[in-house]
Chains A and B, each alone.
Chain A
Amino acid sequence: MTDPTTGVPSPTAAGAGAAGAPAADEGHLVLRDLVKTYPGRHGAAVRGVSLSVPRGAMLAVLGPSGCGKSTTLRMIAGLVAPSAGSVLVDGKDVTGTPAHHRDMGVVFQSYALFPHMDVAGNVAFGLEMRKVPRPERERRVTEALELVRLDHLARRRVSQLSGGQQQRVALARALVVRPTVLLLDEPLSNLDAQLRTTMREEIRRIQQETGITTVFVTHDQHEALSMADRVAVLHEGRLEQLGTPQEIYERPASRFTAEFVGRANLLPATVVAAASAGEAAAAEVEVPGIGRITAQGASPAPGEPVTVLLRPHRVVLDAHDPDGGIARGTVLTAGYTGETVAYRVRVGGSGPELDVELPSGSHRPSAPGAEVGVSWQQGAARLVPAAPRSGGDAEAADGGGPAGDRDPRGGAA
């Protein structure tokens, strides 16, 4: 990855793929430069995604709608033919293998349960296709239904099930064939909030029990961060960052990731001096309106523009000592949300505005207009690599410019 501070070896294409390295370091499921273009549509849906999933790991493909994540999943499943690139399972190229020979379990966003079969019939379908003899079939169907805790509803029609139950049937149907890879397309998006949390844990439990290599697609950062071992952030058909949930959240490799995953204050700044290098890299930067602060992360040369990331919940406000913090601020708005109080604070007289989130009950709430001291812990401020693409929007990237050259990772891969 481009993030040099990432200590964990991340098996991305940037590492193994392009160099043509042997399969030693490769994961169970590998995508190499997957591209999908649709005829008559400007620009590609997926523009060269390369990543690797270790055996038994759970990868979340996270991105906004239209970022190409579902298309990527369907290319893995063999339901959509890639325009270029390849899909490897166990080091074997399966790009040309039709879906019904790929041995992958897919849970669709709409569940796609067969309406003309009952629950057991749905689950048994894959086993029938594999010509599993009846006694074993029945045993495995029962096992799969027990795994998703639906064994008491085996003879129910799928139309008589609730959304959560249908979701479990879809999961059991995909798992019963013991697929090499399990693919979940927005598995929780059709469930209500409470059920979503339950199913999140449920899917994670089942995935860990079965130890099956899993890829799931989601637009929900909470889902991605809480369920996955690894998160791949996709943006406009490109892999923005691949890493553990902590890496993605705490050390976003791009402005897009910083903003898309969690809430973010992004402050333009100028490098003054690099403080140290390597794992604990940090730099002293000048933020207009705030002054000189230290931010974690590798920095470009002094004088270069950078972006500083400050998560709202890492900022602290002190109403008693407005001058005791890193900067002095004025509360613009305050909103009580129950668990937290969300503030918007202007730093200095005309400095940047910051979103600040404080746990409710931990402090005496400040009213709009109040003067507060703004501070944060050492290490809360983080440098975000100033990707050139952050300057250009989607249209600019599509507008015939050398989009590949604008992408820092594109060059790295």
Chain B
Amino acid sequence: MSAAAPGTETGSDTGSTTAPGAERPAPGRWTPGRTAAALLLPGLVALLLTYAMPLVWVARMAFNEPLPGGAIRQTLTLGTFADVLTDGHYWRVIWQTVELGALVTVFTLLLSYPLALFLARTTTRWRGLLIALAVTPLLISSVARTFGWMAILGNQGVVNKTLQSVGIIDTPLQLANNLTGVVIASTEIYMPFAILVMISGFGRLDPELERAAASLGAGRLAVLRRVVLPLTLPGVLTAGLLVFVLSLSGYVTPRLIGGGRVFVLATEIYDEAITALNWPVAAVLSMLLLVLFGLVIVVYTRLQRFVERRILGERGAAS
């Protein structure tokens, strides 16, 4: 930097005298663009090595031909795609993945919204502590939390034991080893993410607006419906996107609580790659998951734009 500084001064001098060629910065000269490039480089390299290259490798694998016994024939074929897309089992897996994602997203948003709203609005000096408390589950590995849910939801779990001892039910409720259990556990696991995203997305919320609405005759419900909800919708949408995407790629909870009965893309990819040693099929399923992500992003962007235009009434670049 210190070596470049004198060059900057002479450079600006020649620039002011409109010398031809002064537009192009001399080699080794400091420019904002070069600083930006230098700062971006480490991250770019890391991304290339750890993300782009494996992705390309997986994509390439999808076009190979699987041979019995886990062998692979290097080729360029769409055969595996055709096999997967014509197999009803895989469509059921895709459907279950989307269904689980949708259910988990809806329940997570419903349960997180009131909490996030409270945390965003509260003026207590314990606010920081309360927010920390809401996200402390993140400190525990989701594997451990999933095992916890198994202990709670299983046939011999806390819920069933309690309900049976009180006499509300005779036979245990099927809360684990099925989609219900996965939805319950996933919802709890993703709530801290949703709460965090919502709190940071609720910036537009101003208690004075609620007071203004009240002074104009709006009861609590009307304030919520007409003022709070529209203004918090962007944050809710972003939280929804995050939870849906996390849920689509979720592996641990569907595997452990699903008890081998809930098939989603993540578990299926693992099984194909590790158990069946069919890497090309695993790669094709991974590509399908990527396509799913792409679709989700498209839907999210559309929704966000709709909310901004129609509900918040913002136009184009207006802040």
Complex partner residue of B230 from A78, A103, A104, A116, CB under 8 angstroms: A116
Complex partner residue of B315 from A99, A101, A113, A157, CB under 8 angstroms: A157
Interface size on A, residues (CB 8 A): 31
Chain B residue numbers with a CB within 8 Å of A78 are 214-215
**Contact A79/B318 with A112-B209, A115-B312, A116-B231 known, Cβ cut-off 8 Å:** no
Interface residues of A in 62-118 (CB under 8 A from B): 77-79, 98-106, 108, 110, 112-118
Interface residues of B in 270-296 (CB under 8 A from A): none
Interface size on B, residues (CB 8 A): 25
**Interchain CB contact under 8 A, B216 and A126:** yes
Chain B residue numbers with a CB within 8 Å of A177 are 216-217
**Interchain CB contact under 8 A, B215 and A100:** yes
Q: How far, in whole Å, are A113 and B209 apart by their CA atoms in the complex?
A: 7
CB distance from A118 to the nearest CB of B (A): 6
Q: How far, in whole Å, are A220 and B318 apart by their CA atoms in the complex?
A: 35
CB distance from A186 to the nearest CB of B (A): 13
CB distance from B315 to the nearest CB of A (A): 7
**Interchain CB contact under 8 A, A79 and B214:** yes
Which residue on A lies nearest to B125, using beta carbons? Answer: A40
**Interchain CB contact under 8 A, A110 and B208:** yes
**Interchain CB contact under 8 A, B312 and A116:** yes
**Interchain CB contact under 8 A, A130 and B212:** no
Q: Contact flags (1/0) for B86-110 with A, using CB distance below 8 Å? A: 0000000000000000000000000
**Interchain CB contact under 8 A, A115 and B204:** yes
Question: Is B70 an interface position by the 8 A CB rule?
Answer: no
CB distance from B127 to the nearest CB of A (A): 15
Q: How many A-B residue pairs have CB under 8 A?
A: 80
Chain B residue numbers with a CB within 8 Å of A113 are 212
**Interchain CB contact under 8 A, B208 and A129:** no
Q: How far, in whole Å, are A129 and B213 apart by their CA atoms in the complex?
A: 9
Question: Is B83 an interface position by the 8 A CB rule?
Answer: no
Question: Is A208 an interface position by the 8 A CB rule?
Answer: no
CB distance from B263 to the nearest CB of A (A): 42
**Contact A100/B318 with A108-B211, A112-B212, A116-B230 known, Cβ cut-off 8 Å:** no
**Contact A173/B216 with A116-B231, A125-B226 known, Cβ cut-off 8 Å:** yes
Complex partner residue of B211 from A99, A103, A130, CB under 8 angstroms: A99
Q: How far, in whole Å, are A117 and B319 apart by their CA atoms in the complex?
A: 14
**Interchain CB contact under 8 A, B312 and A108:** no
**Interchain CB contact under 8 A, B208 and A100:** no
Which residue on B lies nearest to A176, using beta carbons? Answer: B216
**Contact A99/B209 with A116-B230, A116-B313, A157-B318 known, Cβ cut-off 8 Å:** no
**Interchain CB contact under 8 A, B312 and A100:** no
Q: How far, in whole Å, are A278 and B211 apart by their CA atoms in the complex?
A: 48
**Interchain CB contact under 8 A, B219 and A100:** yes
**Contact A100/B217 with A114-B209, A159-B319 known, Cβ cut-off 8 Å:** yes
Q: How far, in whole Å, are A117 and B231 apart by their CA atoms in the complex?
A: 11
CB distance from B232 to the nearest CB of A (A): 11
**Contact A116/B311 with A129-B222, A157-B318, A159-B318 known, Cβ cut-off 8 Å:** yes
Which residue on A lies nearest to B207, using beta carbons? Answer: A112
**Contact A106/B222 with A117-B313, A118-B313 known, Cβ cut-off 8 Å:** no
Chain B residue numbers with a CB within 8 Å of A100 are 214-219, 222
Question: Is B206 an interface position by the 8 A CB rule?
Answer: yes
Q: How far, in whole Å, are A78 and B212 apart by their CA atoms in the complex?
A: 11
Contacts A78-B215, A114-B209, A177-B217 known; 18 new A-B pairs at CB < 8 A: A79-B211, A98-B219, A100-B214, A100-B215, A101-B217, A102-B215, A105-B216, A106-B211, A106-B215, A108-B212, A112-B212, A113-B212, A115-B209, A116-B312, A129-B217, A157-B314, A160-B318, A173-B212
What 3 A-B pairs come out closest when comparing CB atoms?
Answer: A126-B216, A129-B217, A112-B212
| Residues of chain A at the chain B interface (Cβ within 8 Å) | 77-79, 98-106, 108, 110, 112-118, 125-126, 129-130, 157, 159-160, 173-174, 177
Q: Could you give 19 example pairs across A and B, Cβ below 8 Å?
A: A79-B211, A98-B214, A101-B217, A105-B216, A108-B208, A112-B211, A114-B213, A114-B227, A115-B209, A115-B231, A116-B230, A116-B312, A117-B313, A129-B217, A157-B313, A157-B315, A157-B318, A173-B212, A173-B216
